[in-house]
Structure 1
């Protein structure tokens, strides 16, 4: 556990570096120890987009490093100053968790590495409905997705005295009460709106297609120069109604092979591990065993859902309403549970003698959890707009990004996004998500009407503002771990998201009807 901020240990001395050897013609920032770079970049340079500091004019190694690791922003964000949200810098010790809140990184600006916060002010995000929304009116949150006051009042808070309490309708068997260890009846009541949303996601035809494909024999592809060990592929969108029905029935039996618990996951919202003490859903022993799984959810989430205020969104962004923030946490928890259950399904149904992430449709889309999220929300994954530091209550709202995206995942050898460069796309985009999109997941109308009529297309209203940036690669480039060929084009429901707003603007702050340069200057869209 992290110690309180006041008792942080004294850092080790910085490694030696001879700055007198600086030569602007030959200097390489990789020769500078990381600790020194972070020290030199305290109070980092933030410049107006389009005016990149010229590192060639640097007089010292420190000045050179600061220019290389500088950060661009729009004029509106620059006008906010270096410390517009003092709460981001304040650390608090949370006794219930025996740890402190996240530490501000002095080598980053207040907006961290967020493309959205670097170019769009929180006030503008609020005006576009991306931070706050009415959550108290019963017309907006349907009864089955609300907390039941009478059940909450009578729920036991003793984590060692578990029993069935309240209404369990609409909760998938995998999320049943007995699968939650060290969870009080009161805490399970807090989870019920989340579990009901996650349960509706598990019923979606697009998700059943994904799980059917993951639970079917994978196609082994031979190695290439880029992937000498070869790869495994599953093909989606191929299941029949009968196959979906069988998949759904087997999903219910999965309830006997999954356990949920709370622990400090080290910054991850949740994670999944195999339980080697228990053979999984489809049995067999030995080298090809399928195992039951344990899903661990970060204790921060339990603390926040239980009313803990140490991470309250309003502490970090005074304009953020904590009830709206709590709705974001519930949505994120529901989607994270479905993400992790996708791993649980894969590990329980298909035995592979390698630690792999299978690729969907041979487009190098590793990490089946994110691939599953993308079929729910029509080609994008939705997560926090993270400032400095990142906070689980998401005080600045949520963002959507295409999956697969253009990002590289160099830390995970087997986690590979498809190169959008193969499709001739050399730009990345992030969308600020309107809170109405998040709130709709907690309404009967979405699940009983829109989703049944329109499928994944019903879950497409995630765009409020887009920030588009060019990438440092060219069409035809591909990630180092992927094959340069693509066998199958993905279908409309699961395919690459088409960034349709202002397609002629290569980069900028994009609205449905207007566009601005990243600096904030208007773009003439009539040209």
Structure 2
């Protein structure tokens, strides 16, 4: 097994049980921070008044449930961590797009032949063609990642699992219809209700995902993706200034697209930096390789998110991105995530570098997206109503690891897109402040605003526990 590629952790799976559910809360003598780490339902006014560290960034999953219970239930640390080198390429669904790319490159003289050699049941396609040319090493600007030809640097080899996952997500048959509908501007419909053009100062359009694409239509998407690979570059950048709070940022115009990625995430994957450096000390502590696995997943998702923007910029710049159906915000990357994962998966503590604790999922867009940030991308609440109630669930570490295994992608072949939806078994319900944005029409607001859309089984603290 190639450790440079795999980045595996084969340590023991033992850990200290920090769940204090059997403890007598009346006897606990903790400061507020300690109680929150354990997720104890104590009277904070009675807790020891030591210094409080806002380690959880006020995220309710961490603040209310606590790291102890989250770890016990499989959301923080995972040992051992295992990846299959050829994950994703065991069935025809993923191989169809990869074979098309390989054959196309053979036809234009960039590759001499398509190698499909069986490694048992898997490994039908050579490593070079398991990574889309959009993500290949000649499109990177960093000295220790960029290379021409087939030989990779040591740093790039460590990045390959991320790029292979990004390729699979980008070309997955469940989402090819989203890209097809997005790029087929002749099928887009103008949105005219409620004086929206006057409020936004421009015409706006929406599109829908196309289903049951023909082979020719799929190849249209594959060709657009391959064409983008000739015009895109990947650049690492510190998360300051315009990159503050962002994993990625796409800039450019037709024929010249540059995608900026948070340099820290590349450092965590390729250069040995610790993805738990901003985490607090707790027992048993955040496992570094588990955190690195979360970063790999987020980085792969981020890269495909940015490809959605790059596709639009490369073909239709300077036209603004269209809305998807009647979603209240036009953001092609987040919309892709919402459709694939049934929500947005993210690190809940945005101020932390790396991913020292957990990943969480919530519906996008949430009710309290800030008005002042991107008002030109706002349309409306759904015409049948909206709600201030928002649910956030922890994402099991087994879900993250499974993305890098044969079995997960075999189940995608069998069951389809639902395999990408994390189980929602431990989470919180919140009632958020949801005000009308200036770009929105109040007449489309539904009559049941502020009420939960359905019973969710949350307790008095808003915790939903289906374990």
Q: CA deviation at 1:352?
A: 4.2
Q: Which runs of structure 2 are paired with 1:396-475 in the superposition (5 Å)?
A: 396-410=357-371, 411-416=373-378, 419=381, 422-447=384-409, 449-473=410-434
2:191 is equivalent to residue 221 of structure 1: yes
Alignment counterpart, residue 180 of structure 1, candidates 110, 115, 140? 140
- Say which SS state the counterpart of residue 428 (structure 1) adopts: strand
Equivalent position of 1:197 in the other structure: 165
2:79 is equivalent to residue 134 of structure 1: yes
**Given the superposition, is the C-alpha separation of residues 485 and 293 from structure 1 closer, same or farther in structure 2, using an over 3 Å criterion?**
farther
Alignment counterpart, residue 116 of structure 1, candidates 48, 61, 81? 61
Specify the structure having the higher radius of gyration (Cα): 1
2:466 is equivalent to residue 512 of structure 1: yes
Equivalent position of 1:370 in the other structure: 334
Equivalent position of 1:322 in the other structure: 288
Equivalent position of 1:296 in the other structure: 260
- Say which SS state the counterpart of residue 165 (structure 2) adopts: helix
In 1: Cα distance, 2:161 partner to 2:357 partner: 23
**Given the superposition, is the C-alpha separation of residues 110 and 127 from structure 1 closer, same or farther in structure 2, using an over 3 Å criterion?**
same
Alignment counterpart, residue 346 of structure 2, candidates 383, 390, 403? 383
Q: CA deviation at 1:440?
A: 1.0
- Say which SS state the counterpart of residue 261 (structure 1) adopts: strand
| 8 A contact 1:265–1:296 mirrored in 2 | no
| 8 A contact 1:77–1:121 mirrored in 2 | no
Which stretches in structure 2 are left out of the alignment for 5+ residues?
A: 1-31, 89-125, 145-152, 445-451
In 2: Cα distance, 1:295 partner to 1:263 partner: 10
- Say which SS state the counterpart of residue 377 (structure 2) adopts: coil
> Deviation per CA, 1:207-247, whole angstroms, max 9, x where unpaired?
21111122111433344364453422222235622322321
Alignment counterpart, residue 334 of structure 1, candidates 300, 308, 329? 300
Equivalent position of 2:18 in the other structure: none
2:138 is equivalent to residue 170 of structure 1: no
Q: Which moved more, 1:243-252 or 1:392-401?
A: 243-252
Alignment counterpart, residue 250 of structure 1, candidates 224, 245, 250? 224
**Given the superposition, is the C-alpha separation of residues 424 and 370 from structure 1 closer, same or farther in structure 2, using an over 3 Å criterion?**
closer
| 8 A contact 1:174–1:252 mirrored in 2 | yes
State how many pairs are aligned: 367
> Deviation per CA, 1:390-418, whole angstroms, max 9, x where unpaired?
22321111110112321223211223386
Which one has a larger percent helix, Structure 1 or Structure 2? 2
Equivalent position of 1:263 in the other structure: 237
TM-score normalised per structure 2: 0.70
TM-score normalised per structure 1: 0.62
| 8 A contact 2:249–2:261 mirrored in 1 | yes
- Say which SS state the counterpart of residue 392 (structure 1) adopts: coil
| 8 A contact 1:339–1:373 mirrored in 2 | yes
- Say which SS state the counterpart of residue 116 (structure 1) adopts: helix
- Say which SS state the counterpart of residue 86 (structure 2) adopts: helix
Equivalent position of 1:231 in the other structure: 204
In 2: Cα distance, 1:328 partner to 1:82 partner: 34
In 1: Cα distance, 2:322 partner to 2:460 partner: 32
In 2: Cα distance, 1:77 partner to 1:178 partner: 57
In 2: Cα distance, 1:325 partner to 1:261 partner: 23
In 1: Cα distance, 2:388 partner to 2:61 partner: 18
In 1: Cα distance, 2:221 partner to 2:231 partner: 16
| 8 A contact 1:116–1:430 mirrored in 2 | yes
| 8 A contact 2:393–2:428 mirrored in 1 | yes
Q: CA deviation at 1:437?
A: 0.9
Q: Which runs of structure 2 are paired with 1:83-122 in the superposition (5 Å)?
A: 109-122=54-67
CA RMSD of aligned residues (A): 3.4
- Say which SS state the counterpart of residue 197 (structure 1) adopts: helix
